Every structure is written in structure tokens, then in C-alpha cells.
Amino acid sequence: MVENNLSSASIISNLGTHFIGQRVIYYPSLTSTMEVAKQEAQLGAVEGTVIIADEQTAGRGRIKRVWLSPKGSVALSIILYPSVVNLPSLIMLASLAVVHSIEAVTGLKPQVKWPNDVLVNDKKVCGILIESSVRGNIVDYAIIGIGVNVNLRLSGFPEIQSTATSLSAELGRDAPRLRIIRQLLVEVERLYLALQAGGSIYEEWQDNLVTLGRRVRVKSGKTIYEGVAESVTKDGSLLLRHSNGNLSKIVAGDATLRD
Ligand code: BTN
């Protein structure tokens, strides 16, 4: 039987990090961990504070979408106070941390779909949402929200069945949720410290992108782009080659793999 009960103590105990996850606020059920994280950040919560819920009743995704996070999934938010130069790298950091922790704990080989979905066998297993408050060059706070479909039975969610998967579905058995969460916090700290020390995580992020070289459709605001994903820039933008040879630089959007 996989140990899957969550509590602040079970997450913090012997975690081995310096600050990420040294304060954990756990809720059995919550509207959205982003809401509480925002309130905590505005009150000046210590860096690395984690808000985690067994289930969210109003989980939110990118572009105002709803994020399903019933019991068995992972829903957490991490409060950070990065410098403004490191802010764009948080997307790369979060997706890489998820890739590494899933791989280390389950042996599955996840990949990143630009900009920050984590896929296993081309289906989405994790979504990441970054929210921040920035004034000029000052970052008041940044919150990394991570939702992982860990032990999710997809038969209960027909609306996402064609595009999403879960770790349990890929493994054919339950996945150790607590171990994945703890590994994730360790990975976030390792990458965040590397970033703060002036290191670049762009190359590693690029190497883990499933998107490059593939035909994609990208929705960015009201614009739809189609072409081959050629490369990504250091600020995380996607360079898309159109069939007429033109190149578009897309700063943010939602990509669908077409091949
Ligand atoms: C997406 O793919 O659209 C991003 C999904 C992000 C979901 C996570 S779950 C934890 C945190 N709380 C939320 O309400 N959303 C994020």
C-alpha cells in the first residue's frame, strides 16, 4: 500500500531543504492554493512557504481555465521573492522540477510542452501557473502553482480523457504522492538556488521540450499561429516557423501538438 496521507509534518520531516517547504500549510480541502498563497505572500510569509491541499474546489489554470484537482492529485503553491531578472525563469524552473521529481520517483520519462505543461506519453500530467505582483523592478512576490495528476482515475473525468493522463494511469498502479511532493520541493530549491547563483536553466529546459521540431498550433490571446516549433529564446519565448518561411516569436500562449 502506497503511503499517501498528507500533513504538514509528513512533508517537512527530514526534507533536507533550507527554505522551500520548511513551512507548509496543509488543507484537506480548499478553493485554490493560489488564493491562500496570495494572502500569505501579501502578509510577508517566509520565502519557500508551501500551501498544499488534498483537494481544490475552485482550482484555477492558465488563461482563466478551471483546473480539476480532486483527492489523489497534488495541488500546491510555493511563495518566492525572486529578483525581477529571474522571474521569467520560474516557468522553466517549475516544469523542470516536476520532470525531475516524477522521473526520480516513478521512473516515467516526462517532457515539457511549451511553455510549461508536463506530459507523459504526449498527454498532460501536470499544469503550472505562475502569478506574481511586480512594481517596476521590484517583485513583491511570485507564486508557483503546481497541479499534478497523481492518482487520478480518468474514467471519472471524460472531459479531459483525450488530452490528460495521470501517473497512476501510466504506471498501472498508485504512485507515491508524498514522495513526489517532497522530491518536488527539493528540486525547486536546487534549481532556484542555481538560478540565484547566476546559473542558467534555459539549456536544460530546452533539452526537455517535447515541442521543438513538432508541428504546433499556438493560441496567444486572440491570435492563432501554426507552424513548426523551431526553438526557444532565453526569455522562454517560442520561435515558430510558418510554411511560408516566416518566423514568429511568441511570448506566451497555449500550444497543441499537431503531429
Ligand atoms: C494550467 O495548466 O492551466 C495550470 C494549472 C495549475 C494548477 C495548480 S494546482 C495548484 C495551484 N492552485 C490552483 O488553483 N492552480 C494551481
Q: What is the pLDDT of residues 148-189, one digit of tens each?
A: 999 998 888 888 888 999 999 999 999 999 999 999 999 999
Contact in structure between 255 and 230 (CB atoms under 8 Å): no
Q: What is the pLDDT of residues 221-252, one digit of tens each?
A: 999 999 999 999 998 999 999 999 999 999 99
Q: Is the CB of 21 under 6 A from ligand 1?
A: no
Measured in angstroms, how far is the CA atom of residue 128 from the centroid of ligand 1? 6
Q: Is the CB of 151 under 6 A from ligand 1?
A: no
Has residue 128 got a pLDDT over 70? yes
Measured in angstroms, how far is the CA atom of residue 35 from the centroid of ligand 1? 11
Q: Is the CB of 150 under 6 A from ligand 1?
A: no
Q: Measured at the alpha carbon of residue 155, what is the angle toward residues 144 and 105, in degrees to the nearest 5?
A: 45
Contact in structure between 40 and 30 (CB atoms under 8 Å): no
Measured in whole angstroms, the distance separating CA 50 from the mean position of its chain's CA atoms is 14
Q: Which of 100, 81, 76 is nearest to 190 (CA)?
A: 100
Q: Is the CB of 69 under 6 A from ligand 1?
A: yes
User: What mean pLDDT is predicted for residues 30-58?
Assistant: 97
Has residue 1 got a pLDDT over 60? no
Q: How far apart are CA 220 and CA 216, in angstroms?
A: 12
pLDDT value at residue 2: 53
Q: What is the pLDDT of residues 56-108, one digit of tens each?
A: 999 999 988 999 999 999 999 999 999 999 999 999 999 999 999 999 999 99
Ligand 1: atom nearest CA of 34 is 12
Q: Which of 141, 149, 97 is nearest to 121 (CA)?
A: 149
Ligand 1: atom nearest CA of 31 is 14
pLDDT value at residue 200: 84
Query: pLDDT band for position 4 (50/70/90)?
Result: low
pLDDT value at residue 161: 86
User: What mean pLDDT is predicted for residues 191-211?
Assistant: 93
User: What mean pLDDT is predicted for residues 129-146?
Assistant: 97
pTM, full prediction: 0.95
pLDDT value at residue 229: 96
Average pLDDT of the chain is: 94
pLDDT value at residue 154: 87
Going by alpha carbons, the residue nearest to atom 15 of ligand 1 is 60
Has residue 3 got a pLDDT over 80? no
Going by alpha carbons, the residue nearest to atom 3 of ligand 1 is 61
